[in-house]
Structure 1
Amino acid sequence: MLKNLIARLIRKQEAMTGESADFMRDLYAGSPAGFWRFALFVPMSRHRGALPLDAACAVRIAAVHAEDCGPCLQTVINLSLAAGARPEILRAAVEENLAAMDEETKLAFEFARLLSARDARSEDLRSAVERRWGKAGLAEIALAIASTRVFPTVKRAMGYAQACQRVVIAGEATNAAPGEARAA
């Protein structure tokens, strides 16, 4: 009975994200207790409150892009589209095209991108983020970055990491390689 519940939960996750969750099956097979702790963590990765939708989704793209540019990035895109984010903003975030973003999205994305890269220039943007969205905005970005990075790490450790690939945004493929890799 418990195995049927797990199978249903994983299928639901796959339907919601549009991506395979085989890593979760292996996580459960290897450590049922670890699987349940991971399952309890997942809602934190969906927390949103202070930031506008497009900005919140761009933050997640910046965070996951620092770790992975394969299926985890596609999952973030799929969930963002399902939530109602604009495809052109998601594409701009994947391509790191700041000129295509509105000011709020650009601020949130750039702060998250620099923070995810452990770039000290993120400190220069922290006060602007706090002025715009308060401590709630800082907390939301912090939780989004921290939680988004867990998935690629778990998948990589479980043997499910993949190299960069093209991702699809609203039916259109785009290069998911980080900016410096695209420029090379």
Structure 2
Amino acid sequence: MLKAFVEKSLRRQEEITGEPTDFLRDIYEAAPGGFWRFALFVPMSRYRKRLPIEAHAVARIAAVHAEDCGPCLQTVVNMASSAGVPADILRAAVMRDLGAMDKRTRTVFEFAEAIAARDFRSEELRPLIESWWGKAAIAELALAIASTRVFPTVKRVMGYGQACSRVVIGHETVRADLASPRAA
């Protein structure tokens, strides 16, 4: 019965994200206790109250892009799109088109990139973001950036890592910009 519940939940997750969850099935089969602990992690990865949805989405895209440019990036894009983030914002983040973002969204994107790259520029950007939305937004960014990076790592360890692929936004296929933040 519990296995049927897990399978139903994983199928629902696949419907939401548009991506397979076979790595989670493998975790459940090999280490059910670990699976349930990981399942508790998922709601934390989606926590957002203070930060605008566009800023939250671009932070997650920047962070996941540092770890993966394939299925996990597509999952983050799909979830942001389902939450109502406009396609032009998603496209700008995936393609690293900073000029297509407003100042605040661009600043959050650059902050997330800097954090992911361990670039001290994050120290310059954090106070600006905090001045706009408060310490709560910084806490939300911490959770979004850190948690988004976990999924590609778990998938790679479980043997589900994939090479870069194109990302679909709406009905348009785009290629993720793989340039480093400093090279752009």
Q: Which amino acid letter does the alignment assign opposite residue 26 of structure 2? A: D
User: Does 2:20 match 1:15?
Assistant: no
Q: Deviations over 1:101-123 (max 9, x none)?
A: 01111111111111111111111
Q: Residue in 1 aligned with 2:148?
A: 148
User: Does 2:66 match 1:66?
Assistant: yes
Q: Deviations over 1:118-146 (max 9, x none)?
A: 11111111110111111001101000001
C-alpha distance in 2, partners of 1:21/1:3? Answer: 15
C-alpha distance in 2, partners of 1:94/1:179? Answer: 11
State TM-score, norm by structure 1: 0.96
C-alpha distance in 2, partners of 1:177/1:85? Answer: 19
C-alpha distance in 2, partners of 1:10/1:138? Answer: 30
Q: Residue in 1 aligned with 2:82?
A: 82
User: Does 2:57 match 1:57?
Assistant: yes
Q: Which amino acid letter does the alignment assign opposite residue 94 of structure 2? A: V
Q: Residue in 1 aligned with 2:114?
A: 114
Point out where structure 2 has 5 or more consecutive residues left out of the alignment.
none
User: Does 2:6 match 1:6?
Assistant: yes
C-alpha distance in 1, partners of 2:35/2:78? Answer: 23
**Residue 177 of structure 1: how far off its partner (Å):** 4.4
In the alignment, is the contact (CA less than 8 A) between 1:19 and 1:75 conserved in 2?
yes
Q: Alignment length, in residue pairs?
A: 182
Q: Residue in 1 aligned with 2:125?
A: 125
Q: Residue in 1 aligned with 2:160?
A: 160
In the alignment, is the contact (CA less than 8 A) between 2:96 and 2:177 conserved in 1?
no
User: Does 2:29 match 1:41?
Assistant: no
State TM-score, norm by structure 2: 0.96
In the alignment, is the contact (CA less than 8 A) between 2:45 and 2:143 conserved in 1?
yes
Q: Which amino acid letter does the alignment assign opposite residue 168 of structure 2? A: V
C-alpha distance in 1, partners of 2:99/2:17? Answer: 28
C-alpha distance in 1, partners of 2:82/2:136? Answer: 24
C-alpha distance in 1, partners of 2:3/2:105? Answer: 42
Partner SS state of residue 64, structure 1: helix
Q: Deviations over 1:45-90 (max 9, x none)?
A: 1101111111110000011001000000000000000000011101
C-alpha distance in 1, partners of 2:156/2:22? Answer: 12
Q: Deviations over 1:138-176 (max 9, x none)?
A: 101000001101100100000000011110001111112
Runs of 4 or more above 3 Å deviation: none
Point out where structure 1 has 5 or more consecutive residues left out of the alignment.
none
C-alpha distance in 2, partners of 1:94/1:143? Answer: 20
Alignment root-mean-square deviation, CA: 1.3
